[in-house]
Amino acid sequence: MALHEFDLIRRFFTGIGGAGPDIALGVGDDCALLDPPPGCQLAISTDTLVEGVHFPVACDPEALAGRALRVNLSDLAAMGAEPLGFQLALTLPSADEVWLAAFSRGLARDAGLFGCPLMGGDTTRGPLAITVTVIGTLPAGAALRRGGAGAGDLLYVTGTLGDARGALDVPGEAHLAARYWRPEPRLAAGRLLRQFASAALDVSDGLAQDAGHIAAASGLGCRIEADRLPLSAALVDACGRALASRHALTGGDDYELCFSVPPGKAEAMEAALAAAGEPVTRIGAMVPGAGVLCVDGQGEPITLERSGYAHF
Ligand code: ADP
Ligand code: MG
């Protein structure tokens, strides 16, 4: 690399997202040092994005950086955690300064927006891949886990589903493209849901598959009413209602929260999230048994060729 590794880190990866109240030492030493607030647990999650697998070849580096951070922040949101900071392991085919400047700009913008500073990482040469590890905090014992749902709990999602998948069908549609490149980590919703939800996760591989994770971890089944699924007008216009609904069930890359709420807390939850400007929709319920049953408006089962994205 023409650009020395240490110059590269200093120029493009120092000061991203500011200082951070819980970070005693950031980029530059052998480790970062954290001072998490007393009584807090740390929530940690890693996601890797590989060129040609998780994002298109030769895409805009500024958008890519934002997406890499946002999909990780979505995991913190799903646990009800608040961002503390993140690590970045970057594998680059070359030290392209134009590419690095744009990537660094996109990263700084979203790290600042979500109050999640870059604390350290690793830089290596190879096929383009981006690994982000986010660290968040939450009051000890308050995390939203997948396994806490009870039979009869109501099942909800935030936002709208299927938009990112729709962007593959209609690449020129601006709203859908934005939903793929700039998913909204539902951090405020996740934080509020600590008071209400019995289980939660973020929908990354398709609702039908991911709702199945809540069901399995909770030792239950779940029933999803397909005609309740929240669809954006842009998705219905672009794909038609039938395909839009299919994308909402199995498309993936939504980064919305799916969560269960005991019936006695549902009204208070809906009021709290509405007051915070976080739209939620009830899509079904947890039921005795196992697996995910999707039904149409007549209550007839819908058969899906696939429930979501499979990596292997
Ligand atoms: P070491 O060889 O001790 O692992 P490195 O040379 O890999 O150290 O990294 C030097 C410093 O730069 C460390 O503080 C590390 O966290 C940081 N760093 C390396 N790559 C990145 C990156 N892509 N983004 C942020 N910090 C990085
Ligand atoms: Mg290293």
Quote the domain boundaries for residue 81. 5-139
Verify that 61 and 160 share a domain, yes or no: no
Q: Within this chain, do residues 49 and 176 fall inside the same structural domain, yes or no?
A: no
CB 87 within 8 A of CB 116: no
Task: Kindly state whether residues 183 and 116 are assigned to the same domain.
Answer: no
Q: Whose CA is nearest to atom 12 of ligand 1?
A: 28
In this structure, the residue with its CA closest to atom 2 of ligand 1 is 30
Question: Which amino acid residue places its CA nearest to atom 5 of ligand 1?
Answer: 122
DSSP 165-190: HHHHH-TT-HHHHHHHHS----HHHH
Within this chain, do residues 188 and 131 fall inside the same structural domain, yes or no? Answer: no
Give the whole-angstrom CA distance, residue 28 versus residue 47: 23
126-184 tens-digit pLDDT: 999 999 999 999 999 999 999 999 999 999 999 999 999 999 999 899 999 999 999 99
Question: What's 244's domain CATH number?
Answer: 3.90.650.10
7 C-alpha vs ligand 2 centroid, how far in Å?
14
Residue keyed to tokens 């949101």: 77
Tell me if 259 is assigned to some domain: yes
In a domain, 304, yes or no: no
In a domain, 303, yes or no: no
Residue 310's pLDDT band (cuts 50, 70, 90): low
Residue 108: pLDDT over 80: yes
Measured from the CA of 89, which atom of ligand 1 is nearest? 23
User: Phi and psi of 109, rounded to 5°?
Assistant: -60, -50
* Residues 115 and 239 placed together within one structural domain of the fold: no
Q: What is the mean pLDDT of the chain?
A: 96
Task: Clarify whether residues 100 and 171 are in a common domain.
Answer: no
Residue 186: name the closest of 111, 52, 83, 303 by CA.
Answer: 83
Ligand 1 pocket at CB < 6 A: 9, 13, 27-30, 88, 90, 118, 120-123
Q: Structurally, how many domains does the chain consist of?
A: 2
* C-alpha separations of 14 from 7, 8, 24, 65, 142 in Å: 10, 9, 15, 15, 33
309 occurs within a structural domain? no
Position in ligand 1 atom list of the atom nearest CA 12: 24
Residue at 263 is within a domain: yes
Q: Same structural domain for residues 291 and 159?
A: yes
133 & 184 share domain: no
- pLDDT surpasses 70 at 110: yes
- Pick the last residue of a domain from 139, 165, 193: 139
Does 121 share its domain with 185? no
Q: Are 111 and 117 in contact (CB under 8 A)?
A: yes
> Of 139, 169, 195, which marks where a domain is finished?
139
Pair 95, 166 in one domain: no
Instruction: Tell which one of 23, 27, 119 to mutate to probe ligand 1, the residue whose CB is within 8 A of the most ligand atoms.
Output: 27
CA of 134 to the centre of ligand 1 (A): 16
**Nearest atom in ligand 1 to 30's CA:** 3
Dump pLDDT digits (tens) for 25-79.
Answer: 999 999 999 999 999 999 999 999 999 999 999 999 999 999 999 999 999 999 9
CB-CB contact of 159 with 77 (8 Å):
no
Choose the final residue of a domain: 139, 164, 182: 139
Q: How far apart are CA 312 and CA 310, in angstroms?
A: 6
Substitution candidate for ligand 1 out of 99, 119, 122 with most atoms within 8 A of CB: 122
Q: Are 174 and 61 contained in the same domain?
A: no
- The reported pLDDT for the residue numbered 148 is 95
In the chain, which residue ranges form alpha helices assigned H by DSSP? 5-12, 61-79, 97-113, 163-169, 174-181, 187-193, 207-218, 233-239, 241-250, 263-275
Q: Is residue 203 part of a domain?
A: yes
The per-residue pLDDT for 1 is 46
pTM: 0.95
CATH of the domain at 23: 3.30.1330.10
Cβ of 264: how many Cβ atoms within 10 Å? 8
| Ligand 1 site-directed mutation target among 9, 10, 125, most atoms within 8 Å of CB | 9
List of residues 6+ apart from 262 with CB closer than 8 A: 150, 152, 153, 154, 198
Query: Alpha-carbon torsion 95, 101, 103, 108, what sign?
Result: positive
Ligand 1: which residue has its CA nearest to atom 19? Answer: 122
Q: Which ligand is nearest to the CA of 31?
A: 1
Considering the domain architecture, whether residues 106 and 238 belong to the same structural domain is answered as no
